[in-house]
Structure 1
Amino acid sequence: MEGENKLFMISEDNLLQFLEFFISRFEAQSGKEKEEIWVDTETAKKLLSIKSDTTLFKLRSEGKIEYSQPSRKVILYKRESILRYIEDNSYKTF
């Protein structure tokens, strides 16, 4: 029959799986990939449009961008703090 509403049951786990699938598919189609919270040195330099490790070290040591050092040779930078630094240093034109 047309116009008849149908009722069906779904488990909570299945519903959550479906929602995760739907959201990831939607983000992929809309070009919004999940952005990583922490980025490596090269990505941080790319976001900041700099080439110098020294400049990155200076920003890090002055506390202008957040970082984490999970091991001696690995330094990760918080993407949000880099974007905030860029925004804080932007100027409005007249």
Structure 2
Amino acid sequence: MNVICLEDEAFYSLVEEVVERIKEKHKISQDKWVSTERAMELLNIKSKTTLQNLRDTGAIVFTQPQKKIILYDYDSIMEYLKQHSKNTF
């Protein structure tokens, strides 16, 4: 059996490249879960309290894999924006 050793930077670079190739192969353009900062950017809000209210009311789907890490469902954010969009005259 052969053992291959990589430095941290090279390993993580390789992992990122593999993930990108998998996304390309399966035509995935967006991650399923986004960070708090990305969710706020998508919703164009500045307040974490507003984001928390959207979570508390069930307006957007989220997961909390660890105590201080909250991730938001990209599709539910897009659905929320679609539900609150207005048609022009």
The question of 1:84 aligning with 2:73 is answered no
- Deviation, 1:51, is 0.8
1:1-94 counterparts in 2 under 5 A? 24=24, 34-94=29-89
Q: Distance in 2 between matches of 1:47 and 1:58?
A: 16
TM-score (ref. length: structure 1): 0.66
Paired letter, 1:87: K
Q: Distance in 1 between matches of 2:59 and 2:24?
A: 33
Q: Structure 1: state its 5+ residue gaps.
A: 1-20, 28-32
TM-score (ref. length: structure 2): 0.69
The two structures, once aligned, show a CA RMSD in angstroms of 1.9
Q: Could you list the runs of 4 or more consecutive aligned residues of structure 1 that deviate by over 3 angstroms after TM superposition? A: none
- Deviation, 1:63, is 0.2
Q: Distance in 2 between matches of 1:39 and 1:53?
A: 15
Q: Distance in 2 between matches of 1:24 and 1:41?
A: 25
Identity %: 43
Q: Distance in 2 between matches of 1:57 and 1:48?
A: 12
Larger Rg: 1
Q: Distance in 1 between matches of 2:77 and 2:56?
A: 14
